[in-house]
């Protein structure tokens, strides 16, 4: 049972994976995936060593066929000879025979239910009678059980890894592109594992869309609990991208679930060198684990809240905040920092007392109530101690700064009566997410529809740390449906950087689009071109465009499926050959890599989505 207010890990079963067991009371494990060819034995060994030294506790390799599966045994032997006993994982798609061979060679095999037995995804709308559907399930059992027997014999664990982008046409025909479809795709295989008394099973359900990812994992936990299954979970956001955006998107999705106590192993998938991933994952996990054994938060879920849906909490509209308005960004400029990034201009800035002459005229300002005077686009901020003075103030929008503890029944009563108040909700609890969640649920239970801006303060000098912590905290509340606005402060970082992070968190949480979004895979041995360089070139050419989604995929395993909601797609089709997509439709095939970025730009222009 998940406790949304008080942190404790979900109790899962234990899976034996070589000498590094997973689940139960074992630590949350960190893993990563190589991007060299599995047939390049020495390069693979060298990269695995770098990954292990950077913190990876499991190392995964792509395994296209039986030849690659056998060579994993060579890689494993060389690593053992060098003193490294880290378990290896074979990543198998489309080829059950490769999974059979890999189960003899390595400690764990990942299979994808979407393409293990089902036909390669065609995006066709197929119709199955109940009898035909049952026949397909029978085919899965007939092929899957012999694989499980090999795994039993060799003490090999498996991961059932469902990807949003590679649901089979069979599942899509009955469930559509939904969390229910992803969960059922997983449960079909889990039920066979249970029937065959095979318990060394890990599960992952991944998507590039954080809303889809979180809802689906929560639904999977609910479904497994109903069927008395308690398998451990691997967490990851697919195609998260690189740099700031990749870290923030990963922290929103993974951090939300870790905060719920869900997750036994983590991979942060970045379109960067694989040895970069583990330190980022370790930093995120260690931040969540700080809240272990925290002071208890007395709270209960509001009656109308459904964590499996987490629809937006409806508040009244005050100015441009609340109701159905886009979430606002409030920038803390109280330290006199007035440098702006004009691609991330906040909706409001808090300037405390001073009103500098050089501020852009269109900015909305927030000042302390004690110095507020009635003038255009300037609004007062009251502290809790001065809340009784709200009725005497003539401002059209009044901000009230409240900690969770200050949100008493008496204060809530006043917030219900005053119709032009916006709350800026703060916390200093070590489990600030849990405490802020409790405040929102008190408001919901009291039927108080005051709009609430989520505020958090950090004091971190390392920008990556700020990205991960703030995205995990604020993203979780946004995905819960509390989406009126953000106010993020870090006294050790520039304010304009905090503005960028707030806009990135909102976009990663699917709440507000402010820039081009890149759905780019982390690269692996299947990648058919230089992905990192290509992502950089595509960003350089298109990052000024607003509101577009561009998918950049190394091969066809997850693209085009994972980028199905992208406006444009760039997918490896052969060695240094590219297919270009408009939506789900492949419109240009086998373009030489050196021409493909320019062709993508021309495709965007031809469809009227380009701006200079």
**Strand 265-266, strand 328-332: pairing:** unpaired
Same-fold call for 328-508 versus 517-606: no
Instruction: Provide the CATH number for the domain formed by 517-606 in this structure.
Output: 3.30.413.10
Question: Domain 29-289 is in which class?
Answer: alpha beta
Which pLDDT value is given to residue 558? 55
Model-level pTM? 0.91
**8 A C-beta contact, residue 455 and residue 425:** yes
Structure tokens at 527: 């990648």
Distance, CA of 178 to CA of 386 (rounded, Å) = 48
In tens, the pLDDT along 219-256 reads: 999 999 999 999 999 999 987 677 888 999 999 999 99
Going edge to edge, which strands form the sheet with 568-574?
A: 517-520, 549-553, 568-574, 577-582, 585-592
Higher local confidence (pLDDT), 538 or 217: 217
Q: Which segment of 203-212, 347-356, 441-450 scores lowest on mean pLDDT?
A: 347-356
Work out the average pLDDT over 280-285: 98
Candidate CATH numbers 3.10.450, 1.25.10, 1.10.10, 3.20.20; the one for domain 328-508: 3.20.20
Work out the average pLDDT over 33-62: 97
In tens, the pLDDT along 441-500 reads: 999 999 999 999 999 999 999 999 999 999 999 999 999 999 999 999 998 999 999 999
Which pLDDT value is given to residue 525? 58
Structure tokens at 31: 């893993």
In tens, the pLDDT along 359-373 reads: 777 789 999 999 998
Which pLDDT value is given to residue 175? 87
Domain assignments of the chain as residue spans, ordered by start:
29-289, 328-508, 517-606
Distance, CA of 590 to CA of 611 (rounded, Å) = 27
Distance, CA of 70 to CA of 49 (rounded, Å) = 20
DSSP state of 547: S
Which pLDDT value is given to residue 119? 64
Cis omega (within 30 of 0) for bond into 316: no
pLDDT averaged over every residue in the chain = 91
Count, residues in the chain: 612
Exposure on the CB side of residue 376, measured as CA atoms within 13 A: 3
Structure tokens at 73: 């045994």
Distance, CA of 504 to CA of 512 (rounded, Å) = 9
Count the neighbouring beta carbons within 10 Å of the beta carbon of residue 314: 12
**8 A C-beta contact, residue 578 and residue 538:** no
Which pLDDT value is given to residue 538? 86
Number of H helices, E strands in the chain: 15, 21
In tens, the pLDDT along 96-137 reads: 999 999 999 999 999 999 888 876 555 555 678 888 888 889
């Amino acid at each position: 049972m998940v406790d949304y207010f008080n942190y404790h890990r979900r109790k899962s079963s234990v899976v034996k994976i070589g000498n590094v067991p997973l689940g139960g009371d074992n630590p949350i494990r960190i893993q990563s995936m190589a991007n060299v060819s599995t047939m390049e034995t020495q390069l693979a060994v060298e990269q695995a060593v770098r990954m292990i030294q950077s913190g990876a506790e499991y190392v995964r390799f792509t395994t296209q066929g039986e030849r690659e599966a056998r060579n994993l045994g060579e890689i494993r032997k060389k690593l053992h000879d060098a003193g490294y006993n880290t378990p290896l994982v074979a990543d198998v798609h489309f080829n059950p025979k490769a999974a059979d061979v890999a189960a003899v060679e390595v400690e764990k095999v990942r299979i994808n239910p979407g393409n293990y037995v089902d036909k390669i995804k065609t995006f066709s709308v197929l119709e199955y009678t109940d009898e035909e559907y049952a026949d397909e399930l029978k085919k899965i059992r007939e092929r899957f059980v012999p694989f499980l027997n090999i795994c039993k014999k060799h003490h090999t664990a498996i991961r059932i890894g469902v990807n949003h982008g590679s649901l089979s046409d069979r599942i899509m025909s009955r469930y559509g592109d939904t969390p229910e479809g992803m969960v059922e795709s997983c449960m079909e295989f889990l039920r066979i594992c249970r029937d065959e008394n095979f318990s060394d099973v890990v599960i992952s359900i991944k998507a590039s869309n954080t809303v889809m990812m979180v809802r689906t994992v929560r639904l999977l936990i609910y479904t497994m609990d109903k069927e008395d299954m308690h398998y451990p979970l691997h967490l990851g956001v697919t195609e998260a991208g690189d740099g700031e955006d990749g870290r923030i998107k990963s922290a929103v999705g993974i951090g939300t679930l870790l905060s719920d106590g869900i997750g036994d192993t983590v991979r942060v998938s970045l379109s960067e060198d694989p040895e970069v991933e583990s330190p980022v994952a370790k930093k995120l996990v260690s931040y969540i684990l700080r809240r272990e054994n925290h002071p208890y938060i007395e709270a209960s879920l509001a009656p109308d809240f459904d964590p499996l849906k987490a629809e937006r909490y409806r508040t009244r509209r005050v100015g441009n905040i609340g109701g159905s308005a886009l979430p606002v960004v409030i920038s803390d400029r109280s330290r006199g920092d007035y440098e702006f990034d004009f691609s991330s201009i906040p909706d409001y800035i808090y300037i405390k007392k001073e009103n500098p002459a050089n501020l852009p005229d269109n900015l909305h300002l927030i000042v302390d109530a004690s110095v507020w005077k009635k003038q255009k686009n300037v609004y007062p901020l009251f502290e809790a101690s001065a809340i009784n003075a709200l009725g005497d103030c003539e401002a059209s929008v009044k901000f009230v700064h409240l900690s969770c503890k200050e949100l008493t029944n008496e204060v809530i009563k006043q917030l219900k009566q005053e119709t032009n108040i916006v709350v800026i909700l703060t916390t200093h609890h070590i489990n600030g997410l849990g405490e802020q969640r409790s405040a929102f649920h008190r408001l919901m239970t009291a039927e108080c529809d005051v709009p609430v801006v989520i505020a958090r303060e950090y004091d971190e000098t390392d920008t990556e740390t700020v990205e991960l912590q703030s995205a995990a905290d604020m993203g979780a509340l946004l995905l819960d449906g509390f989406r009126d606005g953000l106010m993020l402060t870090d006294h050790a970082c520039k304010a304009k950087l905090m503005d960028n992070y707030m806009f990135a968190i909102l976009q990663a949480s699917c709440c507000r689009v402010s820039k081009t979004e890149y759905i780019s895979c982390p690269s692996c041995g299947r990648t058919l071109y230089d992905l990192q360089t290509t992502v950089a070139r595509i960003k350089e050419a298109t990052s000024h465009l607003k509101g577009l989604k561009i998918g950049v995929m190394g091969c066809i395993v997850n693209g085009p499926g994972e980028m199905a909601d992208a406006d444009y797609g760039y997918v490896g089709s052969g060695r240094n050959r590219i297919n270009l997509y408009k939506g789900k439709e492949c419109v240009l095939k086998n373009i030489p890599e050196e021409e493909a970025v320019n062709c993508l730009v021309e495709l965007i222009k031809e469809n009227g989505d380009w701006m200079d």
